[in-house]
Amino acid sequence: METDEEFQLAQRRLKEEGQAALTREERARRRRALDGLDVPHFDEFVVRNGADALVRKPTTILQVNIGLYCNQACSHCHVESSPLRDREVMSKRTADRLVELIDAADGSVATLDITGGAPELMEQFRPLVLAARARGVEVIDRCNLTVLYEPGQEDLPRFLADNRVKVVASLPCYSESNTDAQRGRGVFQRSIQALRDLNAVGYGVEGTGLELDLMYNPGGAFLPPAQEKLEVAYRSELGDAYGVSFTRLITLTNMPIKRFADQLHREGKTEEYMKLLVENFNPAAANGVMCRDLVSVSWDGRLFDCDFNQQLDMPMPREKGDKGSGPLTVFDVDALAMLTGRRLAVDNHCFGCTAGAGSSCSGATA
């Protein structure tokens, strides 16, 4: 993917214009697409259509992006990770502060959700896993599967299994052609081998307690099918053809941001897709959005309401009395409990999480 012409163009624009300018541009496209639908701001729309106001509940999930470097550069990636992004990596100081915040939460943080990039390639990945597991906190590793075959990762399946880390693996389709179209030539076969290697140490095998979830996202401008029905197809196709087993399937709606937003723009489908999301708004999905009880932390320690906001540089809103200045960071809060009750930062991309059965990092929400 890093040699793809469109990828190279995106990288040049990022370097020349800067991330802030590109983010403003795609936001304006979404706004223009909604103008003809007479759609108010997202938080007003939510309440007007029967869902609860968007405020924070107590934090139970700490989701951490520990770096944007990745051994892949997928066409749907909302993080825009790639092998070129090797400087945006979490420091030990920031990782240590995360552990302090987990300690200060007195057990209320149940899950440390580690993502990237390819998080396993980051220096702070294994120390964070060990620290969280020592405290009885569940750890999720959001794995692209092919990382298992990067230099130095030969023991990764055993490390994950020994620490009973839950693996959420991206496999956008059980079709080789569809997966390779999104993620690069040869990725599907390497992913299948990685799943077999994870199965070999007990992942996705009934009775082991080692969870291996697969994550699906659509290959175009449409909503994912029903999660339960698609899971049946995944089990049949992967089991029969490749002898692969897994715990459950998670479906994720493509968010109209970053690389997917660029794709929509190139294909002239931005308005069509935004209309699809709005017309399929589900109040139950809105009540279950992950941002209500999740805190997202960027590689440099800034706080966000979700990973999508993080990639759009929409930091958690400051309130009177907060320490420091500028974007709120892990060093500005004494405990995550002080964030409870705050309003959430939302915008028109949030319709992606509330359409149909809903979408979150844990799958459907309604």
In a domain, 10, yes or no: yes
The mean pLDDT value for 36-51 works out to 88
In a domain, 330, yes or no: yes
Q: Which residue has the higher pLDDT, 69 or 269?
A: 269
Q: What is the pLDDT of residue 134?
A: 98
In a domain, 363, yes or no: no
pTM of the model: 0.88
State the burial class of residue 151 (Cβ atoms within 10 Å of its Cβ: 0-12, 13-18, 19+). exposed
In a domain, 366, yes or no: no
Give yes or no for residue 32 having a pLDDT over 80.
no
Q: What is the pLDDT of residue 77?
A: 59
Query: What is the share, in percent, of the chain residues with pLDDT greater than 70?
Result: 88
d(C-alpha 189, C-alpha 274), whole Å: 34
In a domain, 362, yes or no: no
Q: CATH number of the domain at 339, please.
A: 3.20.20.70
In a domain, 360, yes or no: no
Give me the DSSP letters along 15-55: HHH-HHHHHHHHHHHHHHHHHTTT---HHHHHHHTTPPP-B
The mean pLDDT value for 15-23 works out to 54
**56 in Cβ contact with 340 (< 8 Å):** yes
Domain tally, the chain: 1
In a domain, 365, yes or no: no
How does pLDDT run across 134-190, given as a tens digit for each residue? 999 999 999 999 999 999 999 999 999 999 999 999 888 898 888 878 777 888 999
In a domain, 38, yes or no: yes
**Do the bridges between strand 166-170 and strand 212-216 make them parallel or antiparallel, or are there none, so unpaired?**
parallel
Q: What is the pLDDT of residue 2?
A: 45
Give yes or no for residue 25 having a pLDDT over 80.
no
Give yes or no for residue 3 having a pLDDT over 50.
no
Structural domain including 125 reads 5-353
**88 in Cβ contact with 116 (< 8 Å):** no
How does pLDDT run across 306-345, given as a tens digit for each residue? 999 998 899 998 998 898 888 999 999 999 999 999 999 9
How does pLDDT run across 73-129, given as a tens digit for each residue? 555 556 665 667 778 899 999 999 999 999 999 999 999 999 988 999 999 999 999
Give yes or no for residue 238 having a pLDDT over 60.
yes
